[in-house]
Amino acid sequence: MVQAYILIQTEVGKAAAVAAEIAGSPGVLSAEDVTGPYDVIVRAEAENVDQLGKMVTSRIQETEGITRTLTCPVVHL
């Protein structure tokens, strides 16, 4: 399994709606609205990096109100 944090910027006033919609997606472990340069932080998992990429591009980035994402895979050093 691969896990990642997905940092999301949203349109003004859309963070709560984006977090709520993403929270119900398969593979999403948590979705929280936060303050700072990003509006929502998602923790997600997938079988492999390819599946993670598909999740981000086909499900998460298609959510209305999202303007930008940054995916940070978790590494175990």
Q: Which pLDDT score is estimated for 3? A: 97
- Structural domain count, the chain: 1
What domain range includes position 57? 2-73
For 56, the 3-state DSSP assignment is: helix
pLDDT in tens, the chain (77 residues): 999 999 999 999 999 999 999 998 999 999 999 999 999 999 999 999 999 999 999 999 999 999 999 999 999 89
Residue 26: phi and psi, rounded to 5, are -60, 135
CATH number at residue 41: 3.30.70.920
d(CA 19, CA 39): 9
pLDDT on residue 31: 97
pLDDT at residue 16, as a whole number: 97
